[in-house]
Every structure is written in C-alpha cells, then in structure tokens.
A = this chain, B = another copy of it.
Amino acid sequence: MTRNDISSAALSLTDARRLRADRARQVADVLRRRVLSGEFRSGPLPSEADLVGEFGASRNTVRDALDLLRAEGLVERCPGVGTIVVSQKYPHGLERLLGLAETLREHGEVVNQVRTTGLIDPPREIAARLRLPAGEPVVYIERLRRLNGLPLSLDLTYVARDLGEPLLEHDLASTDIFVLLERIAGQSLGHGEITVEAVNADPHLAATLEAPRGAALLMVERLAHLADGRPVDLEFIRFRGDRITMGGTLRRPDPWS
C-alpha cells in the first residue's frame, strides 16, 4: 500500500509523525478485521517482517498498528511466540430484538449475577417511557452478565410491576428476561427502540466489569414492547467494548419517499 500523492513529497518531522500515526491506523483497521473474523485463532499474527512486506509500511508503523490493537485489548505480545489474539468480540445484532443468551447461543453460556432486585418509585423519565402514571412503582433488576465466565455487561432493567413482580419468582441467573416476560405476559415481544453510544467506564464500573479504567463501553438503551405495543422493559446496558461488535444492514431511502 503506497500513497502516490505523498510518498515523494518532502516531509517535515511533524508531518512524518502524523503520517506514521495515520498509516498505523490504516494497517490496524485491516488487522482488526482479520482478528475479528477469527483468522488467528489457532496461531500468532504474521511476524512484523511479514506485515512490513505485506503492507509496504515501515517496521515502526507496523509496530504502532499492533500497539493500537494491544491498547484495545485484542492482542498481546508473547516473547518467543509473537503477537497473539487474547480477546474475542462477539456479534450482537442491530435488527432483531433478542436477549443476550439468545443472541450468543452459539458462543457459550450466559450467566447473570443478580446484584439487586426490588420495587422502586421510578424517576419520571422511566415512568413516562413505560407509559405509567406518576407514583406507580416498577421492578428494578441489576445484573452483571458473563459469557463463559467473562464479564460482558452490566444491565440496569426497569420492568412494569404486573410483569416484573412475577419475574422475580423465576430463575434470573440463567434465563433472559425477554424469554420470561413472554411466558408471564402470555404473548410475544414486538419491537424495541434502541440507542447506542460509546462512553468511558468510570472506575467502579471498570472494576465491576474487570476492564481497564476508562475502558470504552458500548452503552445501549433499549425499550422493549409487547406484541400489543405496550412498553414493558427499559434497559440501560453497558457492554465491554472489547467484547461486543454490533452489526446490521442499512437501506438507502427512496429519494421520492
């Protein structure tokens, strides 16, 4: 990979540093894709020399690119072995309303550590989104969710009382709330509204998720409705950024509609 437009230009030291950081990011994006697709599950990444050859980049650039992936927690350097993948990112859909265990069924066992449950007087935003009159209590559930033993997310869930109280009688440690809600309501869920943001973990949350201080998290807010349209379950989910990739399909809108 060469850049025709700049390779022959005379570069100041600052430009050269910027260029190297830019090139490292380009190389890192491609390597991240390979790592995430599982290409290096059975062995180390190619050697620095091989990557230098493949990308037509300097050894320092390749090292910087590997450092970027190391800072993301995806790879680690192993003396005598090379650079190996140390973390797996799991795919999470952006189209289908699924619980975590349903989503990750192929990838292992989801176990929920229930940290808090109880009936609370919700703040007015929570009541409004669940379309409840002011003063109506809701059930609050806080769960630390693990996949194959590794912390994946901290979920704060608010459920309408008529469904939430029976929910607390069930096994929340090993069953998705969505599945239980459908059993209790006697109807399936319908749609969900989702927002996705990136935030840094505060120190306490980082410790809870066993992530580095300030780690980037995918923060998901999700309001699930029953098939009849009633909103019943509002969740604030903080996923470890190094463990989840969300994916979906976009459609180009008809210019005439």
Task: Give chain A's interface residues, CB within 8 Å of chain B.
Answer: 1-6, 18, 21-22, 25-27, 29-30, 33-34, 54-56, 68, 71-72, 89, 93-98, 115-123, 125-126, 140, 142, 156, 188-200, 202, 204-205, 214-219, 221-222, 227, 236, 239, 241, 244-253, 255
Contact = CB atoms under 8 A, between A and B. Distances in A.
A251 B198 contact: no
A123 B245 contact: no
Highest count of chain B CB atoms <10 Å: which of A26, A140, A198, A236: A198
A244 to B, nearest CB: 7
Given A22-B116, A250-B94, A252-B97, A197 B218 contact: yes
Nearest to A29: B236
B216 A241 contact: yes
Contacts of A30: 123, 125-126
Given A33-B125, A96-B252, A247 B196 contact: yes
A204 B71 CA distance: 13
A19 to B, nearest CB: 9
Nearest to A218: B198
Given A34-B125, A55-B123, A195-B246, A253 B115 contact: no
Contacts of A116: 3, 5-6, 22
Nearest to A253: B96
Contacts of A245: 195-197
